Amino acid sequence: MKTYKIACIPGDGIGKEVIPAGQEVLQALAAAGPDFRFEFSSFGWGGDWYRAHGRMMPDDGLAQIRDVDAILFGSAGDPQIPDHVTLWGLRLKICQGFDQYANVRPTRILPGIDAPLKRCTPRDLDWVIVRENSEGEYAGVGGRVHQGHPIEVATDVSILTRAGVERIMRFAFKLAQSRPRKQLTVVTKSNAQRHGMVMWDEIALQISKEFPDVKWDKELVDACTARMVNRPASLDTLVATNLHADVLSDLAAALAGSLGIAPTGNIDPERRYPSMFEPIHGSAFDIMGKGLANPVGTFWSCVMLLEHLGERETAARLMKAIEEVTADTRLHTGDLGGKAKTADVTAAVCQRLKNR
């Protein structure tokens, strides 16, 4: 029997609630019969680790998880620690250390979910946003001088490399090609950002020639927000820089009903390193520790994890169970206007996996 090694990093806030729920669901899947099992290892990295050790994860942390088949991640963000410390000290350390350069964010309106766009049927909104995940605005290049003085200067320099843009464009065109509509929208801002984004556009055109069967267009990022709201069915696969896609994907999640549902995968397409799967939401300080978090974003991330492992049939089985549960509004958590708790939703999904 095959064994998949999964590293679980709950992190902070509701990460500590939704990741154990995800583990429970994966165990229920394995118990229900497929020919594999999971071996979990858990890592208590994050805000608590920081308070005890002065950093978010141990110096040899990456080496400790280097050989797993996949990583399931919760959230980095603690009310007592500055956000840039928690983010750079844990999540970005893993994404960048393992060169997970493609961040993939599917969005759909699941059954039973009341999405805010009244003129939009679930069929009109079926997107995948590909986020460049290794450079751009979040390259970490910049600094501060003259701190605290009137002449203080602070910079964040966006870095776009030809190699980095070519590989994300190729990944996005390939993903678009694998979907029924074979359609890609390249999000840009080359009117205002006249160096990096102009190269981005040029490379999009160059890579498009390798994919003659993919229809593609370009959209400025600001116009793209309006298009997502006004003409959702005109979009299918999108590719955007680190910052642009970060913003667009929160909008996408909200348009599909809730941030608590949206999943993501931080992928190393070359499989040199383990890839990492996580709900896109953060630590949710306002509801943490109360058992109120929606675990669906984590469950859908588990679907992506299974697909990445090549377990397509099992992934589809989990997605079906998730959709059966969202279809029942009695099983909606507070973010969806319901009263269900994390544990209720988790138990309902596990039950459906057992009864198949």
**Structure token pair of residue 223:** 């116009």
Determine which residue in the list 23, 75, 107, 326 makes contact with ligand NAD, applying CB under 6 A: 75
Nearer to Mn ion, 112 or 136 (CB): 136
| Residue 7 interacting partner from ligand NAD, Mn ion, none (CB closer than 5 to 8 Å by kind) | none
Rg of the chain over Cα atoms, rounded to whole angstroms, equals 20
Least CB distance from residue 250 to Mn ion, whole Å?
6
Determine which residue in the list 35, 60, 270, 286 makes contact with ligand NAD, applying CB under 6 A: 286
Least CB distance from residue 84 to ligand NAD, whole Å?
8
Pairing, β 275-279 against β 70-75: parallel
Alpha-helical segments (H) within 256-311: 296-308
Nearer to Mn ion, 126 or 246 (CB): 246
Least CB distance from residue 14 to ligand NAD, whole Å?
6
**Structure token pair of residue 46:** 């994050």
Determine which residue in the list 25, 94, 293, 306 makes contact with ligand NAD, applying CB under 6 A: 293
Rule CB under 6 A: say whether 282 interacts with ligand NAD. Answer: yes
Determine which residue in the list 26, 56, 76, 240 makes contact with ligand NAD, applying CB under 6 A: 76
End-to-end CA, the chain: 21
Rule CB under 5 A: say whether 219 interacts with Mn ion. Answer: no
| Residue 246 interacting partner from Mn ion, ligand NAD, none (CB closer than 5 to 8 Å by kind) | Mn ion
Contact 70, 53 (CB under 8 A): no
Size of the site for ligand NAD (CB under 6 A): 22
Pairing, β 102-108 against β 263-267: antiparallel
Determine which residue in the list 6, 113, 239, 259 makes contact with ligand NAD, applying CB under 6 A: 259
The closest alpha carbon to 47, from 39, 57, 38, belongs to 57
Rule CB under 6 A: say whether 91 interacts with ligand NAD. Answer: yes
Stretch that binds ligand NAD, among 53-61, 71-79, 162-170, 239-247 (CB under 6 A): 71-79
Rule CB under 6 A: say whether 344 interacts with ligand NAD. Answer: no
Q: Which 318-337 positions form the footprint of ligand NAD (CB under 6 A)?
A: 333, 335
Nearer to Mn ion, 131 or 317 (CB): 131
Rule CB under 6 A: say whether 297 interacts with ligand NAD. Answer: yes
208: left (phi over 0), alpha (psi -120 to 50) or beta: alpha
The closest alpha carbon to 87, from 15, 163, 159, belongs to 15
**Structure token pair of residue 155:** 């910079």
Rule CB under 6 A: say whether 281 interacts with ligand NAD. Answer: yes
Distance CA 192, CA 220 (A): 10
Rule CB under 5 A: say whether 268 interacts with Mn ion. Answer: no
Helix, strand, coil proportions of the chain in percent (round to 5)? 40, 20, 35
Determine which residue in the list 17, 137, 219, 246 makes contact with Mn ion, applying CB under 5 A: 246
Alpha-helical segments (H) within the chain: 15-31, 47-53, 61-65, 83-86, 92-97, 162-178, 196-208, 221-230, 242-255, 296-308, 312-326, 342-354
Residue 80 one-letter amino acid: Q
Stretch that binds ligand NAD, among 83-91, 152-160, 161-169, 177-185 (CB under 6 A): 83-91
Least CB distance from residue 9 to ligand NAD, whole Å?
10
Indicate the residue whose CB is closest to Mn ion.
Answer: 246
Stretch that binds ligand NAD, among 49-57, 153-161, 193-201, 291-299 (CB under 6 A): 291-299
Q: Which residue has the tokens 């759909």?
A: 108
Distance CA 38, CA 302 (A): 12
For every residue of 111-138, DSSP letters joined together read: TT---S-TT--GGG-EEEEEEE-SSEEE
Instruction: Please report, as ranges, the residues that interact with ligand NAD according to CB under 6 A.
Output: 14, 75-77, 83, 87, 91, 259-260, 278, 281-287, 293-294, 297, 333, 335
Residues that bind Mn ion (CB under 5 A): 246
